[in-house]
Structure 1
Amino acid sequence: MIDMERKVAKDIVHKGHDDDVLIYDVRHLLPAWLSAEIVEQANLEAADLDLINQAYRLDSGRQVLRSLPTIIGLDELEQAGMTDCLPELLNYYEKATDHLILSNVWVLESTEAKLAQLLDHDGLLDIGQRRRVHEVLKKIDGCPQQGLLYFTLFNDTSNYFFYRKHHEHVPGLMLIEAARQAMYAQFYEHSGYARGEVSISIVDLLSSFPRYTESSFQVDVVVGDYEGMAPPRGRKVDKRARFFQRGELVADIRLHGEVIKMPVFKRMRNITIDPTHWFHPLKGIRHEVLVHLESGRHLAGRLELLSMGGLQIQGDSLGDSLDMPARGHAYLYLESEGMISLPVQSIVESHAPKGSLLTLQLADLDSAMRFKWREVLKQFTYFSHQQALPAPAAEQPLWMTVDPTAAMPEQRIEA
């Protein structure tokens, strides 16, 4: 099990719990080579220059990653049994008569690991070194930038969602979720937007799985914009996540989306809920309900159903002692924010198999409370049935008499 500090922060990937985060050990892809002149003109401090010299070697006017050969003889590939890698290498090297010459500024870590075995020493940097070198490179004017981030997949085979059924391979759905998380983390790193300022609305998702991803070996994912770096604070999202295991591509996922500012996103999600729709409580809300009436009486019961206009709770019979109309407040506990108070206008009792069913009709809710109560129904409940509320017209709040298909008052204001 890894240290939790190595995981990406749950807020960055839009998760509520650390155990839902599927990526860790974030690091940037380092340039395969730099102009020696750029490094010389940077006037780096001695410690920073030492980090660069540990990671790069001077080779024909270029600083080249020590783990990458500048020139590869085709006979070397054959002797090392790496002839099959030639199509892959041609993405990063130019082919001459009998050798390859490093040309691309960006070489994936999976290819770098393969090529390290061609050198006399293992020059691969560990994750800590890569992070430190990247921090130095950020200070150098003119240093190549690509916005490519690497992560390692946290493949917990005891995960309650992805591994309820035993798998000998990583489920594709888990890779898709890891790609989404990595894309969010990369977006907040390079887009210029702050967390909470915007949301990403997914338009479409394209995925390819050329190989099975084994559960027993490390999986790394590299994420970036599909074509170069997107402009700062752009409105379109086009991300690509590629998963590699033992040097081979096992999944390739592309996401198209749009950047939506949070006020706009909230308006888009501000749906109207018909007050005659009743919902079952599912999660995030405790089922114990307390009611305090203006007469001084207290009631308690178990929450059964919720609607925009009322609550139904199971409890003891009220008998004939309830003052009418029974005004007061109902109190429920939300796990996300604590106690919520709802104004009660009247109570109707009916008999149920396990006792009495109390229907609490809510009084008029102000705009802020209507919004909050709708969010409770949207997030913590599931639709049960539609039934007309039994409240008499004289007692029914004005906001509940509008056409249920029309927009709520605050929606018209926000729009």
Structure 2
Amino acid sequence: MYRFEPVEKVDKHLVHKEHDDDILIINGRNAIPVYVDDSLLEPPLVDGLAIDQLRRYYIPCPVVPGRYVLRGVLPFISLSKKQFDEIDSECLELLGKHYEKTNDGYVLKSQYINEIEESILARAFSDLADTVEESDRLSISRILQSACEATRPMVYYASMFNDTKNYFFYRKHHEHVPGIMLMEVARQAMYAHFYQCRAHRREDITLSIDSFRMAYLNFTESNYPVRIMVEDISPAADADDTTKDERSIQRGGSRATFYQRNKPVATAEISATLVKVNLFKRLRRCTTDKSHRFFPIKNFSKLVLVTSRTGKKFEAQVVNLSLAGLRLSFPKGTELAEGEIFDVSFYVDSVGYVNSTNTLVWQADCQGCLEAGFSIFQIETLFLGRLKEVIKNFTFVDHKRTPV
């Protein structure tokens, strides 16, 4: 039976989601060095327990004293002429990129190697059974988070959580990963990359996507793992034209490359504006005309509690609503007095209760029930804010009553 690697979903708040079921990337991690100096394996850069963990993954380098090399990465490669001639062009290019040629062979020179390129080199020259698994890379990344911050490239890695039972993306059978699913994976990976690789905190800065360009290079199969590598492609700010503060909150850009079996199958380039969270919230406020009526679509409780000033209670349902009033449906035979004052309370999931004081304006029999119109004349600031959120997120405009 196949043993799946440990899975750790990326923090839902990091990618602007509310539910873990919506998370499509796992084992998110920063780049880790393929070699470290022995000074890193001593306090105070990392604690004693972390040093013991690191020594499981980094082994002494036989060719460079005082250096430790990541398991699965060869510090030295010696090739006969016959072996050299049999190397394919891709491996030969990577060998020249990450190793320095000497009289005896090739000595490792790159401290950071793209995980995909590392995997290709391992397949060609090393023992795959000795390579470090991605869950362990996540652990190493956390241990070295601060110790390697100055030298670490702004690259972020994750794997795709491809749940083929996901109703939204796999409503019909697919023999490949749906393209729209890759788009959402790219968006989540871009957000995670931004907060993991830059100094900005999610509580202070958010991203507003300006453009999204997706290129599908090949079909992405559903039964093989998919790895994502995200790189920073932000345009450089012109120091002569912008202040320091403006340069720190300008634009962001990322390129996400999807790999399957070490081959690229898709790329996504996303550019975004960096916005302070408080400003973003103001920009996102919905301005709704008080005269516009809206139908409830989802998240509304079935029953509305209506209470008269004499304490008599009624149950109703929301027919439509606006910032100025409510249209409610009561069971047939309910007796209400026009002009009377009522407290109305209803619940909307993820928002909470909305309470207001209303005047009954009209009532009429309608297909086996009593419908009544209420005008809001008093509502607290808290509940007015909730009412606006409800209308923005969980209703649709009644186009017969509202010019659209």
TM-score interval, normalised by the smaller of the two chains: 0.7 to 0.9
Kept after mapping to 2: 8 A contact 1:38/1:143:
no
Show structure 1 runs of 5+ residues with no match: 389-403, 405-415
Shift of 1:343: 1.5
Deviations 1:18-70 (A, max 9, x none): 11111112222212344667778988666655525742542346544342344
Aligned-residue identity in percent: 29
Aligned with 1:115: secondary structure?
helix
Residue of structure 2 in register with 1:409 after alignment: none
Q: Does residue 58 of structure 2 align to residue 55 of structure 1? A: yes
Please state whether the residue corresponding to 1:133 is helix, strand or coil: helix
Distance in 2 between the 1:46 and 1:229 partners?
Answer: 40
Residues 301, 347 of structure 2: 8 Å contact kept: yes
Q: 228-237 or 284-293, which moves further after superposition? A: 228-237
- DSSP 3-state at the match of 2:311: coil
SS state at 1:118 partner: helix
Cα drift, residue 103 of structure 1: 4.5
- Within the candidate set 377, 395, 399, 2:391 is matched to 377
The corresponding residue for 2:32 is: 30
Match of 2:320 in 1: 305
Q: Is the 8 A contact 1:34 1:143 kept in 2?
A: no
Of the candidates 316, 325, 339, which is equivalent to residue 325 of structure 1?
A: 339
Query: What amino acid is aligned across from residue 220 of structure 1 in structure 2?
Result: R
* Distance of aligned partners of 1:207 and 1:89 in 2 relative to their CA distance in 1, 3 Å threshold: farther
Partner amino acid, structure 2, of 1:380: F
Give deviations 1:247-277, integer Å, cap 9, x for gaps. Answer: 1111111211112222211211223211221
The yes-or-no answer on 1:225 pairing with 2:232 is yes
- The 5-angstrom pairing of residues 328-407 of structure 1 reads 328-385=342-399, 387=401
1:15 to 14, 17, 26: 17
Q: Structure 1 residue 65 and structure 2 residue 70: aligned?
A: yes
Change (3 A) 1:348 1:285: same
Q: Distance in 2 between matches of 1:87 and 1:323?
A: 85
How high is the TM-score relative to the length of structure 2? 0.82
CA distance in 2, matches of 1:272, 1:249: 44
- SS of corresponding position for 1:188: helix
Q: Which moved more, 1:15-24 or 1:130-139?
A: 130-139
- Once the two structures are superposed, residues 326-384 of structure 1 have per-residue CA deviations (whole angstroms, 9 ceiling, x without a partner) of 21211111111432212212231123224222112211445443332111100110111
- The answer as to 2:251 corresponding to 1:236 is yes
Partner of 2:192: 185
- Please, what TM-score do these two structures have when normalized by structure 1? 0.80
Q: Distance in 1 between matches of 2:46 and 2:391?
A: 57
Residue identity in the other structure for 1:55: Y
Cα deviation 1:200-223 (Å, max 9, x = unaligned): 100111221211110010111122
CA shift for structure 1 position 88: 5.8
Structure 2 gaps of 5+ residues are 238-243
Which of 214, 224, 247 is equivalent to 2:221?
214
Structure 2: distance between partners of 1:280 and 1:3: 47
Match of 2:158 in 1: 151
Q: Which moved more, 1:31-40 or 1:261-270?
A: 31-40
**Secondary structure at 1:221 match in 2:** strand
